[in-house]
Chain A
Amino acid sequence: MDNNKSNLLNRIRNSDVYFSFKKSPTAIISSIILAIIFFCSFFVELVVPYNPFDPSSLSLMEAFTPPSWTEDGLPKFILGTDGQGRDMLSTILYGSRISLIVGFSAIIFSLILGVGLGLTAGYFGGKYEMFVMRLTDVQLTVPSILMALLVDGIARGIISREMHDEMAIYVLIFAIGISEWPQFARVSRAATLVEKNKDYVSASTIIGVSNLVVMFKHILPNIMRPILVIGTIGLALAILAEATLSFLGVGVPPTTPSLGTLIRLGNDFLFSGEWWITFFPAIFLVLLAFSINLLGDWMRDTLNPKLN
């Protein structure tokens, strides 16, 4: 067991990916930031002392407290409080958990859908391929945010109001996921077309391995690199899409705010000088999306040697 572990560590340590990671300060910094954000968001109960969504812990009299380093700030609210007396730091971390959950789920949903369709289209070809690829063409003509708005609007019409708040997060995941699958389908189809004419695929086919096994056991691992690259960048896009939808008021409800909802709620106080209510969630969102993008860029450079 120990042997296995050290083997794996050694393999990682000797890999070209690790080598390039060590050489790239942007990759190191952005992954440290991401690690901190992920940790703080998913273990938020351990990190911050307040649960901003427990009404009994709030005091309205503490509303609009500015950040602690300013004149009227209180040391217990490092980033100040919002209009209901909620601690901004806790609210942001709770909010970013929702943003991350939605972003990850949406991207996994569109990865499964896009890669599944792209891979099979590339492998089988023919009319099925044409149908799938024209479908991606049609969907690419519709801006993804519009697509997500459309899905959300239809879902609102179908789902009863009582259910809507509970379903909102799933609707959002579906809406963002469905609007981003075409690029995964395109990339995986293109990569599959290259792979399927290679000898190992022909060999597998000749010895009678079933199509499913060929596709998902043999081809899929070989096309993973480009998919991972666009998947990472897609994650940043999905988080931003969630923020946009929530900012427009069609995302998660204000009772369980995500980063976009927080920015929207804080927007009302921009003119009155309570800048911290919208500024900190916005900066946090920028930091999150920027780090993921930088990491994605580094992955593209490393995993796609053709670009070098």
Chain B
Amino acid sequence: MNFRSLSKILLAVLLIFATNTSFAKTIKWSMQGDSLTLDPHAQNEGPTTQVSRQVYEALVTRGLDMSIGPQLATKWKAVDPNTWYFFLREDVKFSNGQQMTSEDVVFSILRAKQPTSDFKEYISTISSVKAIDDYTVQIKTSKPNPILLNQLSNIFVMSKQWSNENFATAPQNWDAGQETFSAVNAMGTGPFKITLREPNTKTVFKKNKKWWGDVEHNITEIQLLPIKNAATRVAALLSGEIDIVTDAPVQDLNRISSSAGHKVESTPQMRTIFLGMDQAADQLRSGNTGDNPFKKKQVRQALYQAIDIEAIKKKVMRGLSEPAGIITFPGVTGYTKALDKRLPYDIDAAKQLLADAGYPDGFEVELRCPNDRYVNDEAICTAVVGMLGKIGVKVNLFAQTKSKHFKELKDDQGDFYMLGWGVPTLDSHYVFHYLYESGASWNKVNFSNADVDAAIRVMEGEVDLEKRNAAIAKAWEIVKDDISYLPLHHQVISWASKSNVDVPIRPNNEPLFRFSRVN
């Protein structure tokens, strides 16, 4: 071997090393649970959307400051209260190189309206979608919809051709446990694409080189590695195995921020945690009284007043929560401080209420909880079990992983359950439409009130803001007085990361890796 070829080899090796170290920027991201499915319309759930958001894009989107701005549509106009035109970007390609046109947008919105979609209620007011030309879409609503843009920001656009080729024209039927190609593969227009998907183990995102936007991030790869156990997750972060944890355990924040190479950021999250009580069943599935005590408002109020929310805040949440009186939080249209005030914690009053309702010795019921979804979810439930025990209600705790918890909840298996609700549209309508409207998909307490239903119709169709706000206020009064849910607290989230990893924290707990940097 002569000197020349040797030097060539050495140079080549050097080049490989140089490119590897200076250009390969990987972020290893961890949280307690994984995305439930990659199908962008199959599940309307936090972590699922967080993953989809990196890969899929919508007509409009919320920026870092949570305000609505253009994404796939550059501009839009409403020619009359029921007819909207969206003008699309012409330089958008899917990550397989195929051009995105209005056909894909029409296909995606119609797909999200199919029966198996979890977003069908989200955009229930959309009556028709039509492609005017290659880059113009016309959307008609059944009535004037003041929050259409908010709603569209969560309807991700898929490739029509890819969906046709891979038998994914309908959303995965998640509730029935269906497995589809689109549940483990993704084809979007976003800044990243998914190259490996092992559910609950590892998901690898690579930079999408065909992305249309200005690249502000310097990331070449993201690895999502869910770690269920809190201590293990923190240990992985501290040892450098993980770069960012988007649900840092509250008890470990001091330990993490005292580490030289790590930082912690906290922000009030747009999510309220609460307990639901099924008021429709004639007999509790897990009860011992042969009837349904939750049908009586006194019982619901007794449970409410038996919960010492300040103790939960201090001991379980370590101060990182805000006790809640309603299932919505500051920043949402319709929220007021007065509404958010809780009934006082009063054991004696609670006992009296139970006795008045005809249950002086309490009753038995099962409380269903997720154990990998909300901050300290299982610990909150355990604390509630103890508190309700003091007024004689014997609660059996059943905690399980979120995918089973949600599935069984949707199958109407829960008497008494924990749920958290975020409001991505930042409008009270979202809460009423899903949690309070008669027969709504997440209304598992089976609350039904004609006045509230009427107010929801007003929220959907009323463009006069004053009248609309009055309807929202009235609906909140009714549901707050009825105590159909037991609100617990608004969550505060904390992200912990290495000091050199810069992922801006957002109140909806959604990281936007397109604005992230590794230094």
Interface residue? B315 (CB, 8 A): yes
Q: Which residues in A have their C-beta under 8 angstroms from that of B383?
A: 60, 84
Determine if B251 and A84 form an interchain contact, defined as CB atoms under 8 angstroms apart: no
Determine if B252 and A271 form an interchain contact, defined as CB atoms under 8 angstroms apart: yes
A83-B316, A271-B252, A272-B255 known; A61 vs B311 contact (CB < 8 Å): yes
Binds A, one of B66-74, B200-208, B230-238: B230-238
Binds B, one of A72-80, A221-229, A262-270, A282-290: A262-270
What sequence of 0s and 1s flags, for each residue 27-67 of chain A, a beta carbon within 8 Å of any chain B beta carbon?
Answer: 00000000000000000000000000011101111011000
Determine if B315 and A55 form an interchain contact, defined as CB atoms under 8 angstroms apart: no
Determine if A83 and B389 form an interchain contact, defined as CB atoms under 8 angstroms apart: no
Determine if B251 and A269 form an interchain contact, defined as CB atoms under 8 angstroms apart: yes
Q: Which residues in A have their C-beta under 8 angstroms from that of B238?
A: 271
Chain B nearest CB from A274 CB (Å) reads 7
Determine if B386 and A272 form an interchain contact, defined as CB atoms under 8 angstroms apart: no
Determine if A64 and B315 form an interchain contact, defined as CB atoms under 8 angstroms apart: yes
Determine if B314 and A61 form an interchain contact, defined as CB atoms under 8 angstroms apart: yes
Choice from B230, B252, B315, B388 contacting A63 with Cβ under 8 Å: B315
Determine if A84 and B386 form an interchain contact, defined as CB atoms under 8 angstroms apart: yes
Q: Which residues in B have their C-beta under 8 angstroms from that of A271?
A: 231, 234-235, 238, 251-252, 255
Q: Which residues in B have their C-beta under 8 angstroms from that of A10?
A: none
Q: Which residues in B have their C-beta under 8 angstroms from that of A255?
A: 396-397
Determine if B312 and A60 form an interchain contact, defined as CB atoms under 8 angstroms apart: yes
B229-267 interface (Cβ within 8 A of A)? 229-231, 234-235, 238, 249, 251-252, 254-255
Chain A nearest CB from B132 CB (Å) reads 54
Q: Which residues in B have their C-beta under 8 angstroms from that of A59?
A: 311
Interface residue? B387 (CB, 8 A): yes
Rounded to whole angstroms, the CA-CA distance of A270 and B316 in the bound complex is 15
A side interface size, CB within 8 A: 23
Chain B nearest CB from A60 CB (Å) reads 4
Rounded to whole angstroms, the CA-CA distance of A54 and B389 in the bound complex is 8
What sequence of 0s and 1s flags, for each residue 466-484 of chain B, a beta carbon within 8 Å of any chain A beta carbon?
Answer: 0000000000000000000
Determine if B316 and A60 form an interchain contact, defined as CB atoms under 8 angstroms apart: yes
Interface residue? B382 (CB, 8 A): yes
A55-B385, A271-B235 known; A61 vs B315 contact (CB < 8 Å): yes
Interface residue? A273 (CB, 8 A): yes
Q: Which residues in A have their C-beta under 8 angstroms from that of B254?
A: 272-273
Name the CB-closest residue of A to B379: A83
Determine if B316 and A55 form an interchain contact, defined as CB atoms under 8 angstroms apart: no
Interface residue? B209 (CB, 8 A): no
Rounded to whole angstroms, the CA-CA distance of A61 and B379 in the bound complex is 14
Determine if A55 and B386 form an interchain contact, defined as CB atoms under 8 angstroms apart: yes
What sequence of 0s and 1s flags, for each residue 265-276 of chain B, a beta carbon within 8 Å of any chain A beta carbon?
Answer: 000000000000
Name the CB-closest residue of A to B315: A63
A55-B389, A60-B387, A61-B315 known; A268 vs B255 contact (CB < 8 Å): no
Rounded to whole angstroms, the CA-CA distance of A59 and B390 in the bound complex is 10
What sequence of 0s and 1s flags, for each residue 100-142 of chain A, a beta carbon within 8 Å of any chain B beta carbon?
Answer: 0000000000000000000000000000000000000000000
A55-B389, A83-B379, A268-B229 known; A273 vs B312 contact (CB < 8 Å): no
Q: Which residues in B have their C-beta under 8 angstroms from that of A63?
A: 315-316
Q: Which residues in B have their C-beta under 8 angstroms from that of A274?
A: 251
Determine if A268 and B386 form an interchain contact, defined as CB atoms under 8 angstroms apart: no
A55-B385, A61-B314, A64-B315 known; A268 vs B231 contact (CB < 8 Å): yes
Q: Which residues in B have their C-beta under 8 angstroms from that of A270?
A: 231
Determine if A83 and B231 form an interchain contact, defined as CB atoms under 8 angstroms apart: no
A267-B231, A270-B231 known; A60 vs B386 contact (CB < 8 Å): yes
Chain B nearest CB from A265 CB (Å) reads 10
Rounded to whole angstroms, the CA-CA distance of A83 and B230 in the bound complex is 14
Interface residue? B90 (CB, 8 A): no
Rounded to whole angstroms, the CA-CA distance of A156 and B29 in the bound complex is 32
Interface residue? B175 (CB, 8 A): no
Q: Which residues in B have their C-beta under 8 angstroms from that of A83?
A: 315-316, 379
Choice from A56, A61, A84, A268 contacting B382 with Cβ under 8 Å: A84
Q: Which residues in B have their C-beta under 8 angstroms from that of A61?
A: 308, 311, 314-315
Choice from B230, B312, B389, B397 contacting A268 with Cβ under 8 Å: B230
Q: Which residues in A have their C-beta under 8 angstroms from that of B252?
A: 271-272
Q: Which residues in A have their C-beta under 8 angstroms from that of B389?
A: 54-56, 58
Chain A nearest CB from B372 CB (Å) reads 12
Name the CB-closest residue of B to A64: B315
Rounded to whole angstroms, the CA-CA distance of A85 and B390 in the bound complex is 14
Chain A nearest CB from B266 CB (Å) reads 16
Determine if A272 and B397 form an interchain contact, defined as CB atoms under 8 angstroms apart: no
Determine if B249 and A268 form an interchain contact, defined as CB atoms under 8 angstroms apart: yes
Q: Which residues in A have their C-beta under 8 angstroms from that of B397?
A: 255
Rounded to whole angstroms, the CA-CA distance of A161 and B405 in the bound complex is 13
Q: Which residues in B have their C-beta under 8 angstroms from that of A55?
A: 385-390
Determine if A268 and B251 form an interchain contact, defined as CB atoms under 8 angstroms apart: yes
Rounded to whole angstroms, the CA-CA distance of A115 and B229 in the bound complex is 41
Rounded to whole angstroms, the CA-CA distance of A271 and B397 in the bound complex is 26
Determine if A272 and B390 form an interchain contact, defined as CB atoms under 8 angstroms apart: no
Rounded to whole angstroms, the CA-CA distance of A212 and B382 in the bound complex is 54
Rounded to whole angstroms, the CA-CA distance of A63 and B310 in the bound complex is 13
What sequence of 0s and 1s flags, for each residue 299-336 of chain B, a beta carbon within 8 Å of any chain A beta carbon?
Answer: 00000000010011011100000000000000000000
Q: Which residues of B contact A (CB under 8 A)?
A: 229-231, 234-235, 238, 249, 251-252, 254-255, 308, 311-312, 314-316, 379, 382-383, 385-390, 396-398
6 contacts across the A-B interface (CB closer than 8 A): A55-B385, A55-B386, A63-B315, A267-B231, A269-B231, A272-B252
Q: A254-B382, A271-B255 are in contact. List 10 more A-B contacts (CB 8 A).
A: A54-B389, A56-B390, A58-B386, A60-B316, A60-B383, A63-B316, A85-B386, A161-B398, A272-B251, A272-B254
Q: Which residues of A contact B (CB under 8 A)?
A: 54-56, 58-61, 63-64, 83-85, 161, 254-255, 267-274
Of all A-B residue pairs in the complex, the 6 with the closest CB atoms, nearest first, are: A55-B389, A272-B251, A55-B386, A60-B311, A63-B315, A271-B255
